[in-house]
Structure 1
């Protein structure tokens, strides 16, 4: 009697344990689904901008009459836009912009934004939270230009044409910028960087004509597509950064928006003409052109899509996993475990950025619905070769298929350009879900 009672108690305990585990898994699934919905409702938080140059520029009088000595000084002073091409470090892939002031004495002062100091207090914590405090600095231009030449980067100068009054006000503004209370600002890769700061200064000095012209010149690209051209030479890094960014960077740009890229600013300055027919660019001087040297990647002149390459890569990996599952299931399990572990880490990072950081380009990101922390469950299951009853991968496959169908039927709603993400992961996740199903059927 006691033996039967003990067996009954044991079975009840086992059932209770199984139900509890399933409830925990169900709660985790619901949590993963609900947290993104909370993240989707995020309203960008009000973040204090230590120095908003657009606001400061609105208070500058670019038409103030000059005194005779000021006019004589400004006649002998030139302003150049300096554009430096891509470099080797990741932060230099997009190039750099600066303004160079040549004074009557012959001295050349370079003013540039986008300068960061990794030794500043809480730099890495602020970076993780999307609060990147960068600087504007003034330095001797000759050695800075030579430094870029020695790094074998493209170096170009454009002499800018401004009315005397605007020219003097612009230089005065730059001198004010380097004072400590104005030198630090909150950096944003797309909206407030080394190039956009100069774009806004040029616009103010042209009385708003530069912005009016550029905003009436639409382009055929988006922030995501234009950034891709400078990053696609490293497909893995681009894919990871592409994954982390949501739909906010998938709207069509005008030329003013596109000038977050130094090269786009350079070309726009060459193309702009004042209403009276005067060119903004007086002369262009190319100090170094590395296009034919083969030193590093070159940015395609016309936008190129690489969706097909990621699709073929995903298909090849998926077929490989299916083939391994027939002859070497343990090896397939280890490979899947590694892939899913990396995806789970990436999903956890995205969830953190969506929920807690100020990196607004990660908000409204549909990728969290199929790449999320729950992928740790099948990752560790495959690693230890245990039977898996979780439907995490099957759910992710279903979400990806739904998003693909949604892009075809309702493109106005499914605007996020995550086709590269889905094309790479769908065959891989599908091979894992079929592996689960076969092992589960054997276990039963």
Structure 2
């Protein structure tokens, strides 16, 4: 995707949408002479007949910035006679849009369709070191013309804006859907019949691995929606997956048989950045070790450095309470449906705020209040419920890494509260 300011399309595609103006007399004469000579007068892609249109899917590899990690793609239309080539894409957003940050937080992001000369787009991605792969598609002339007409209609200012969703309505699903529309539904029929290789969570973790802290935050915030089994049509929300899946699609050849949809594939520019791993990372070992290490450190500090125990315990409880509050806000006050019903809200909850004084209680001091003891009991029961959720049928949230991280720490906090309560009796 590309970040641009302004709300209108740029490049020659914008020219397609401008109102026609009266031509000067000299131009009318030239046009008349051209018609009399039998030479067609065409601007290029905008009005080329279907048999002169070449359709391609252009896929750009992931970039370094976090919003570029998922890659990008575009539909290229090329007029074989004039040589004009235009890339149509759905990945433009504007930081300067009124209320952009608030809409982003609420899950109501607005994206735009845009178009630009192919050379201009390729120059940008070559300069950024991102790979460029062009797949020429075997569309019939009528399909190519219908696709062109739809893209030009979609490019109009009143049609260009859409409500963005990370997984089901993004810059790649819009490209995929436009191609499927031109193919009469053949693309969806074939991709929906094939199982996907990964879930939304696995793809997200894999692609965001270069930014570990952001990857962990996203994984923490994803609910069971991200762990549902997918088919290839759904997994094609990613440019690289759509590029891969198109290689196996077959379409009618016009002679009673079928042919590959991808007529030719060529890498126009190699990747010069660190490529994402092929598989999603297993977060269970590192988070389990982190949870055990923090629990062991708390135990050591409680015995040898009470002030350190109080500081570390308070920091953890503050973080747990804030995370729990954020997860509840994402579930109840936003349209981020991938974050709804997040079982991690059972592991990190606002109940932690009621326990903030507990780490400062000394062995010979007053016991924790009844409110704090009840909050600790509820937190332990909530953690147990998070574990038991894995026994239920259906889609189970794959939050084992966070279970393995949080449980040892909660057990240490609970044991500390129990010990000082017993000592006070």
- TM-score, length basis structure 2: 0.81
> Deviation string for 1:61-109 (max 9, x for gaps)?
xxxxxx9x99973333322211111111211111111112223432322
Q: Does 1:325 align with 2:302?
A: yes
Written as runs of structure 1 = structure 2, the 5 A alignment for 1:112-127 is: 112-127=89-104
Q: Does 1:416 align with 2:416?
A: no
Written as runs of structure 1 = structure 2, the 5 A alignment for 1:98-247 is: 98-103=74-79, 104-247=81-224
Q: CA deviation at 1:411?
A: 4.1
Match of 1:84 among 60, 63, 73: 60
Q: Distance in 2 between matches of 1:126 and 1:184?
A: 14
- 8 Å contact from structure 2 (residues 204, 215) kept in 1: no
Which protein has greater RCO, CA pairs closer than 8 Å, 6+ apart? 1
> Deviation string for 1:153-198 (max 9, x for gaps)?
2221111110100100101111111111101100000000011011
Q: Distance in 1 between matches of 2:297 and 2:200?
A: 34
Match of 1:436 among 405, 417, 422: 417
In the alignment, which residue of structure 2 is the partner of 1:12? Answer: none
- 8 Å contact from structure 1 (residues 370, 395) kept in 2: no
Q: Distance in 2 between matches of 1:383 and 1:208?
A: 64
- 8 Å contact from structure 1 (residues 84, 155) kept in 2: yes
- 8 Å contact from structure 2 (residues 321, 348) kept in 1: yes
Q: Distance in 1 between matches of 2:102 and 2:389?
A: 37
Q: CA deviation at 1:379?
A: 3.5
SS in structure 2 of the partner of residue 271 of structure 1: coil
- 8 Å contact from structure 1 (residues 229, 304) kept in 2: yes
In the alignment, which residue of structure 1 is the partner of 2:248? Answer: 271
Match of 1:398 among 347, 370, 381: 381
- 8 Å contact from structure 2 (residues 138, 260) kept in 1: yes
SS in structure 2 of the partner of residue 185 of structure 1: strand
SS in structure 1 of the partner of residue 49 of structure 2: helix
Task: Structure 1: state its 5+ residue gaps.
Answer: 1-66
Q: Distance in 1 between matches of 2:133 and 2:316?
A: 44
Q: Distance in 2 between matches of 1:288 and 1:383?
A: 60
> Deviation string for 1:202-251 (max 9, x for gaps)?
11122111111111111343221222211233333222212222112221
Q: CA deviation at 1:253?
A: 0.5
In the alignment, which residue of structure 1 is the partner of 2:34? Answer: none
Aligned residue pairs total: 372
In the alignment, which residue of structure 1 is the partner of 2:290? Answer: 313
- 8 Å contact from structure 1 (residues 406, 414) kept in 2: no
Please, which moves more after superposition, 196-205 or 106-115? 106-115
Q: CA deviation at 1:342?
A: 2.0
1:380–1:263 CA distance, 2 compared to 1 (3 A): farther
Q: Distance in 2 between matches of 1:434 and 1:330?
A: 17
Q: Does 1:426 align with 2:402?
A: no
In the alignment, which residue of structure 1 is the partner of 2:14? Answer: none
